[in-house]
Amino acid sequence: MATALQGLRLTARTCCCTQSSQKHVVRTIGRQRVFSTTPIPWVSKEERQKRHEERLSRASKITGLDVRAMDRENEDMKRELQQLLDDEIDIGPSMPIPDLPVSRKKLKETFLNLGEQEAFEDGGFMEDEEDDISTLAHGELEQHREWRHYARLEAWEMPLLSKLAKPFELPTKRMPLRFRYTTYMGEQHPAEKKVVLEFSPADMPDLTPVQTDKLRKLLGPRYNPEKDTVRMSCEMYETQAQNKRYLGDTVDALLAEARDPTDTFEDVPLDTRHHTFKPRLRFPKEWAMTEERRQELVAQRQAQIERDAQLQELGHLVNGEQIIQKVLASRAAMAAEEPEPVLVGGRGGRAAAKGAGGKKISVRR
């Protein structure tokens, strides 16, 4: 399975490699013109004929020759040639047929011809002259080339990057906003354009406590009351820069609103329903086992043992098992003291006696 997949991968790679150069060639449809905003003017047959006549008459006027006669001669020659060609076609296939482009069927786009410029099936592939290595081998070669490419990059270009390195500087008080960008290392990804902004309302400059509180209330569910931070993101624009701009504008708008004295929101409580406060459980200091605590526990246990021993001596220690045995023994003793009542007469009595001892008791009435 793995081998098959490897083969498929290499084949696909070869196919891609051969086509990659043509991928981005610009092709135009229709007659090529210089850049123009007007539509192409198509000319009717009669118009063309009329123009031709005009052109001929103008040429004869300028040159003084009988251009019209020459034109007619030309037309005759054309017709003759056409006749000749028609005759040749009529002769049939015994004559050598010139190499003409064959009309080819457009293929459905599949995985194998994905991204090719001309996905045609015509069977007219180049003859396999068996002077080339196989497709798989081409794939291997291509892969090797790629490896070498990256090895060269690593060896020659990467060291130069260190020249561009800048030392990290802690953000100052004037930089309260923290942006997060995402890169997928040159690959395209839909999340590439997303920008996330984090800041703390307390760090915002030139805000009174009331205004800061108003800002917190305005921030709604983006506000984390546990950490006193805000997190907001934007990915609605095409590019990272646009998204970042939008976030910056939003912060400006929020600050302007927070500074607006018309309504300070002091009567509205801060809404934290969106946030779940997680209790931080920590091992209590009092529970930590120290040498003192260990000794204390040993002393406690010793005291317990002593107390139990004391109770044992006095006979006050309660033992459930013993109590039950004692009661059962006393009940048995009581039962032994009393004579066992024997039911005499009646069916039940006789049957019971039979069952117990197997004795028959006969009673005379």
Partner 1 sequence: MATSINCWKCLARPCATSSSRISSIVSSKPFSSTSSKLVGGPKPFKKAAPAGVKQNLRIKKKGAQKTTGRPPASGERKAMRKRIVLSNTNALAVPGMQEFNKDLVADMLEGGEEKKSLVGNVVVLPGETVDALRAIDAFKPTQGWGLFNKPGLLIRQESVELTRALVSAEDEKSTLRYVIEGSKGSGKSMMLLHAQAVAVARGWVVLHFPEAQELVNAVNDYAAIPNSNPSVWMQPTYTAEWLEKIAKANPILDTIKMTQPHNLPIEIPKGTTLGRLCELGVRDSDIAFPLFQALWSELNQSGRPPILLTLDGLSYIMRDSQYRNTNNELIHSHDLALIKHFTDFLSGSQTMKNGGAVIGATSRSHHPISLSMNLAITQALEKQQESPQTERQPFEKNYDERVEASLKDVHVMKLSGTSKDEARGLMEYWAKSGVLRQTVDERSVAEKWALAGNGVLGELQRGALRMRI
- Give the interface with partner 1 as residue ranges (CB under 8 A): 269-271, 273, 304-305, 307-308, 311, 317-321, 323-324, 327
Cβ-based nearer residue to partner 1, 9 or 275: 275
Residue 253 Cβ vs partner 1, minimum distance, rounded to whole Å:
25
Residue 122 Cβ vs partner 1, minimum distance, rounded to whole Å:
43
Residue 207 Cβ vs partner 1, minimum distance, rounded to whole Å:
23
The amino acid occupying position 126 is M
- Each residue of 62-73: b (16+ CB within 10 Å) or e? eeeeebeeebee
Residue 322 Cβ vs partner 1, minimum distance, rounded to whole Å:
8
Spacing of C-alpha 280 from chain mean position: 31
Residue 204 Cβ vs partner 1, minimum distance, rounded to whole Å:
24
Cβ-based nearer residue to partner 1, 219 or 251: 219
The amino acid occupying position 345 is G
The amino acid occupying position 24 is H
Residue 324 Cβ vs partner 1, minimum distance, rounded to whole Å:
5
Cβ-based nearer residue to partner 1, 109 or 271: 271
Residue 135 Cβ vs partner 1, minimum distance, rounded to whole Å:
40
Q: Please state at what angle helix 45-63 crosses helix 67-91, rounded to 10 degrees.
A: 130
Residue 305 Cβ vs partner 1, minimum distance, rounded to whole Å:
7
* DSSP-derived 3-state class of residue 361: coil
Strand order across the 195-199 sheet: 178-181, 195-199, 229-234, 223-224
Cβ-based nearer residue to partner 1, 182 or 310: 310
Backbone φ and ψ of 147, nearest 5°: -55, -45
Cβ-based nearer residue to partner 1, 292 or 321: 321
- CA atoms of 95 and 89, how far apart (whole Å): 9
Residue 230 Cβ vs partner 1, minimum distance, rounded to whole Å:
19
Q: Output DSSP code: residue 221.
A: G
- CA atoms of 153 and 164, how far apart (whole Å): 16
Cβ-based nearer residue to partner 1, 174 or 278: 278
- CA atoms of 134 and 140, how far apart (whole Å): 10
Cβ-based nearer residue to partner 1, 220 or 345: 220
Q: Are strands 195-199 and 178-181 parallel, antiparallel or unpaired?
A: antiparallel
Q: Output DSSP code: residue 168.
A: -
- Choose among 14, 6, 8, 5: nearest CA to 135: 14
Cβ-based nearer residue to partner 1, 13 or 217: 217
Count CA within 13 A, CB hemisphere, residue 192: 10
Cβ-based nearer residue to partner 1, 252 or 296: 296
Backbone φ and ψ of 289, nearest 5°: -85, 110
Count CA within 13 A, CB hemisphere, residue 60: 11
